[in-house]
Structure 1
Amino acid sequence: MISRALLALLTLLASPAFAETIETARGPVELERPERVVVFDIAALDTLDALGIAPVGVTDTLYFPHFDHLKDKAETVGTLFEPNFEAVAALEPDLIVIGGRSATQFDALSAIAPTIDMTIGGDSLIGDARARLTAYGTLFGKDDAAAELAEGLDRAVADAKAAIEGKGNGLVLLTNGPKMSAFGPGSRFGWIHTDLGLPAAVATTYEGSHGEAVSFEFVQKANPDWLVVVDRAAAVQQEGDSARQTLDNPLVHETTAWKEDHLVFLDPSSMYIAGGGVRSITGLLGQITDAFGG
């Protein structure tokens, strides 16, 4: 007959060395602490890299110079949209992290290894970014580092809100060469209004993540006190007119934003590609603070 002490020891040895429940975009997930991680989301990679987590597989384009150190350490496993499933399987990962553009690949990648969707929202971007940071800290045993980064993020949010307060309204525009889209509360860039308190200069409608296609007449009529601008072409490394060239238009010249030189050109890759990564969002908040507080 097995003694209680021996039974307890056998149960302990049979249990996983680590298991923790973390929050994801699809709800809570219980995972063992991973060692071999493949990452298909730049926001996730941004936060994981800030925590000192080195993935074994990443996408073919990393967009930021501070990821250069990964090029010789991690294998390429496809694009943000299309995984190379053979390459992923060959790495034998014990965790795959997806989000945003790669979220549609959840089922296919889950057949290879445990997969978590860490998509970050629009209006809730800062809250989601903080939640993802906490989850990664818990999962990888980096709670202290995550807490330090969270404190920096909280300070940056407070500084940006203080800089914006009482400075008038704003319009968030995405330029793509000669084309423009507007983003208001509820959109992918709506956090600038809802999280930071910048009043919207005009109501906008939108579908999905593309915003409302607008004209120069729309911008003139809205007459924002501030224009907050994201250059998509620059973010995806395409050639074409810059955001400033696009907005250098007689109708835009009539706005308060242009007359007062209240044009805020946010780092395009941080906004468009890595939105919600802790390093990217903290940097963007610093840009906003400098622009509105200057």
Structure 2
Amino acid sequence: MSIRHARPAAFAAATLGAALALTGCAAGDSGGASESTAASTVTITDNHGEVEVPVNPEKVVALDNHVFETLDEWDIPLAAAPKGLMGDNWPEYTDDEAVGDVGTHREPNLEAVVAAQPDLIIGGYRFGDSYDDLVAQNPDAVVIEIAPREGEDAIAELKRETEILGQIFAHEDEAAQINTDLDESIAAAQDAYDGEGTVMGLLTSGGKIEFAAPVTGRAVGPVFPALDLVPALDREAEDSSHGDDISVEAIADANPDWIVVLDRDASFTEPEPGFVPAEELISGSEALQQTTAVQNDQVVYLDPSFYLTEDIQAYTHLFDQLQEAFSAA
């Protein structure tokens, strides 16, 4: 398998800096030898194959929502980001005028990426359709996509993404801890689940209730295989992104013991017209009042920002929520 190498111009300064560091080390004491000889690049496998990436790149553009929380935790500065997709979750980036605004995937401002003159572009996810343009317009940058791949286990993919970030930004120990936190939250939720209660995932948006299919459904789907949950309604997803049409009568007929709900509109500072909070939609449905989940107060609502984040930290928090709910039942 061939390796996609960074362009020579992108690493000229880094190579010169490494050479000077080695010279300085030879002239002085040997105490800094290990630091000065540290690798300036790392080879990772992104969604397109092997690629050589600079370690601790100076200018980073991140477009994949899955990485913002981790980069923020590690105090990684960004040269540009899609501020329209970040809500108020990462003010360190969105409130900083020095961070270029790439807009949203629906109306991307790719000129802001070019203007940032990045060494590394973390693309993919909602910006997957822009990959070829990003590569063509930024010949001196390394462009990678490490977002969870379709058809793969979603939880394992989030851990893979975190591990890769740790390699790139020299935070491997911290990345390992983030993955451990997720594993521990899953294990705790598994222990708390009785193995019998039926579960249904729902999405709400635009005043409508949609079905999130087990495994493949948006946001809630991956929770089913992770915890070996018993689906109240087991069918394939027709729309894995926005949820499938379902009537409240069909939900009531399935009579789930538990309902897990993602309110898509709640993530936005200014919700779309017609926004009705998920809790209001469910409490206002006479048919749903007859379900075991509602009668026993066994409805779990995802964090309001989940739709914008969908990252490893968001899932860790969700599994913590489920552990607490299952334990209290």
Under TM normalisation by the shorter chain, which class is it? Answer: 0.7 to 0.9
For residues 163-211 of structure 1, the C-alpha deviation after alignment (integer angstroms, 9 at most, x for no partner) is: 2243501000001133121112223332110112211111233234222
- 1: distance between equivalents of 2:66 and 2:161? 10
- 2: distance between equivalents of 1:267 and 1:40? 22
Instruction: Quote how far apart the aligned CAs of 1:251 are.
Output: 0.8
Query: Which stretch shows the higher mean deviation, 63-72 or 173-182?
Result: 63-72
Question: For residue 55 of structure 1, what is the aligned residue in structure 2?
Answer: 78
Among candidates 290, 303, 306, match of residue 267 of structure 1? 303
Unaligned runs of 5+ in 2: 1-17, 20-37
Among candidates 215, 218, 221, match of residue 185 of structure 1? 215
- 2: distance between equivalents of 1:74 and 1:167? 49
- 2: distance between equivalents of 1:138 and 1:92? 22
Whether the aligned pair in 1 keeps the contact of 2:59 and 2:79 (CA below 8 Å) is yes
Superposed, 1:277-292 pairs within 5 Å as 277-292=311-326
Superposed, 1:68-83 pairs within 5 Å as 68-70=91-93, 71-72=95-96, 74-83=99-108
AA paired with 1:119? A
For residues 126-168 of structure 1, the C-alpha deviation after alignment (integer angstroms, 9 at most, x for no partner) is: 1111110100101111111112222222211211222224350
AA paired with 2:127? S
Matched, 1:116 2:144: yes
- 1: distance between equivalents of 2:324 and 2:70? 23
- 2: distance between equivalents of 1:60 and 1:190? 27
Whether the aligned pair in 2 keeps the contact of 1:264 and 1:288 (CA below 8 Å) is yes
**TM-score, normalising length: structure 1:** 0.87
Whether the aligned pair in 2 keeps the contact of 1:39 and 1:97 (CA below 8 Å) is yes
Superposed, 1:120-131 pairs within 5 Å as 120-121=148-149, 124-131=153-160
AA paired with 2:184? R
Among candidates 102, 124, 127, match of residue 99 of structure 1? 124
Matched, 1:22 2:50: no
Whether the aligned pair in 1 keeps the contact of 2:47 and 2:149 (CA below 8 Å) is no
- 2: distance between equivalents of 1:216 and 1:129? 32
AA paired with 1:143? E
AA paired with 2:316? T
Matched, 1:219 2:234: no
Among candidates 136, 143, 149, match of residue 178 of structure 2? 149
Instruction: Quote how far apart the aligned CAs of 1:292 are.
Output: 1.9
Instruction: Quote how far apart the aligned CAs of 1:287 are.
Output: 1.7
Superposed, 1:36-51 pairs within 5 Å as 36-51=59-74
Instruction: Quote how far apart the aligned CAs of 1:121 are.
Output: 4.9
Instruction: Quote how far apart the aligned CAs of 1:50 are.
Output: 2.5
Matched, 1:84 2:118: no
The higher relative CO (CA closer than 8 Å, separation ≥ 6) is in: 1
Equivalenced residue count is 280
- 2: distance between equivalents of 1:30 and 1:265? 41
Secondary structure at 1:61 match in 2: helix
Instruction: Quote how far apart the aligned CAs of 1:65 are.
Output: 4.4
Whether the aligned pair in 1 keeps the contact of 2:123 and 2:144 (CA below 8 Å) is yes
Matched, 1:257 2:293: yes
Q: Which runs of 4+ in 1 moved over 3 A?
A: 62-66
- 2: distance between equivalents of 1:139 and 1:48? 11
- 1: distance between equivalents of 2:187 and 2:249? 34
Query: Which stretch shows the higher mean deviation, 46-55 or 213-222?
Result: 46-55
Q: 1:125 to 1:263 in 2, by over 3 A?
A: same
Structural RMSD (CA): 2.3
Instruction: Quote how far apart the aligned CAs of 1:47 are.
Output: 2.2
AA paired with 1:198? L
Secondary structure at 2:305 match in 1: helix
- 1: distance between equivalents of 2:246 and 2:75? 41
- 2: distance between equivalents of 1:187 and 1:260? 25
Whether the aligned pair in 2 keeps the contact of 1:80 and 1:102 (CA below 8 Å) is yes
- 2: distance between equivalents of 1:217 and 1:232? 22
- 1: distance between equivalents of 2:288 and 2:326? 20
- 1: distance between equivalents of 2:47 and 2:197? 34
Secondary structure at 1:173 match in 2: strand
Question: For residue 271 of structure 2, what is the aligned residue in structure 1?
Answer: 238
